[in-house]
């Protein structure tokens, strides 16, 4: 065997080694990427949202807006208090409700209700909303996010489980319409 042949054989072996590592690399990359994307793929399979009870209707007097809290449906044991989410419930009349996300439609800060002036105000950048959730002033481009709701066995249920953001508002699914069961 000439030395030239020997060199080319070794060069070929190096190439083979690189090829083997590339194949194994791709083979490993697929599960790694799937692992990283699990927060997205889980949504496609099971979904994050489900119907949750906010409690009996008697807690929400007609014509008033009250703070309600619920435990997020998708939680881990180590989530602690971050699994508790607040929302604003407005009872328009006997069977008509509006359930607003706590998150300002601008950048997600918690809005506060002022019953005296019938306004929601945001402490971060000064967004304000009327009692029906529509935009009153400030930087938000839209009204407050609304949860889909229904009434069952004298209880108010909302469909929740995901933090609403300007890019994915829950209202787009609810359409802001009443859906009484």
Partner 1 sequence: MRLIQKVGDWFDLRLQLGAPIRETAEHPVPRETASWFYVFGSAALTVFMLQIVTGVLLALIYVPSAGEAWNSLQTLNHGVSLGWFIRALHGWGSNFMLAIVFIHMVQVFLFGAYKFPRELTWIVGVLLLLVTLGMAFTGQVLRFDQDAYWGLGIGASIASRVPVIGPWAVKLMLGGPIIAGATLSRFFALHVFVVPGLLIAFVGVHLLMVLKLGINEWPMPGRIVRRATYMQEYHELTHKQGVPFVPNAVWKDILFSGFILLSIAVCAVYFGPFGPGGQPDPTIIQTAPRPDFFFLWLYALLSFLPPAAETPILLIGPAIGIVVLLALPFVAGEGEKSWKRRPIAVLTILLVAVSLGTLTHLAEHTPWSPVMDAWSSQPIPAEFLQGRTALERHGALVFQAKQCHNCHSLDNNGGQRGPALDAVALRLTEDQLIRQVIQGGGNMPAYGKNLSPAETTALVAFLETLHPANQKPARNASQAMALGTSEVSPR
Q: Which residues bind partner 1 (CB under 8 A)?
A: 36-37, 39-40, 43, 48-49, 67, 69, 72, 74-86, 102-103, 106-112, 114, 116-119, 121-126, 128, 130, 136-141, 161-163, 165-168
Nearer to partner 1, 15 or 112 (CB): 112
Helix (H, G, I), strand (E, B) or coil at 114: strand
Q: How far is the CB of 158 from partner 1 (least distance, A)?
A: 14
- What distance lies between CA 99 and its chain's CA centroid? 15
Q: How far is the CB of 104 from partner 1 (least distance, A)?
A: 8
Nearer to partner 1, 49 or 91 (CB): 49
Kind and range of the H or E run holding 66: strand 65-71
Nearer to partner 1, 72 or 178 (CB): 72
Q: How far is the CB of 26 from partner 1 (least distance, A)?
A: 22
Q: In angstroms, what CA-CA distances link 88 with 26, 40, 69, 172?
A: 48, 28, 9, 18
Nearer to partner 1, 53 or 137 (CB): 137
What is the Cβ-side half-sphere exposure of residue 163, based on CA atoms within 13 angstroms? 11
Q: How many CB atoms lie within 10 A of CB 3?
A: 7
Nearer to partner 1, 62 or 86 (CB): 86
Tokens describing residue 47: 């979904």
Cβ pair 157, 53 in contact under 8 A: yes
Q: How far is the CB of 64 from partner 1 (least distance, A)?
A: 14
Q: How far is the CB of 117 from partner 1 (least distance, A)?
A: 4
């Amino acid at each position: 065997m000439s030395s030239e042949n020997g060199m080319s054989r070794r060069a070929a072996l190096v190439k083979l080694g690189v090829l083997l590592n590339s194949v194994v690399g791709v083979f490993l990359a697929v599960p790694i990427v799937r692992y990283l994307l699990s927060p997205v793929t889980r949504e496609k399979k099971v979904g994050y949202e489900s119907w949750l009870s906010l409690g009996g209707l008697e807690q929400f007097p007609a014509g008033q807006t009250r703070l309600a809290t619920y435990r997020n449906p998708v939680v881990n044991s180590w989530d602690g208090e971050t699994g508790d989410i607040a929302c604003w419930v407005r009872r328009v009349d006997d069977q008509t409700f509006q359930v607003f996300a706590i998150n300002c439609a601008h950048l997600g800060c918690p809005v506060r209700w002022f019953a005296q002036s019938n306004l929601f105000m945001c402490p971060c950048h000064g967004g304000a909303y009327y009692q029906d959730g529509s935009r009153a002033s400030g930087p938000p481009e839209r009204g407050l996010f609304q949860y889909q709701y229904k009434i069952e066995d004298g209880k108010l249920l909302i469909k929740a489980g995901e933090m609403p953001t300007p890019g994915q508002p829950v209202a787009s699914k609810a359409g802001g319409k009443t859906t009484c069961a």
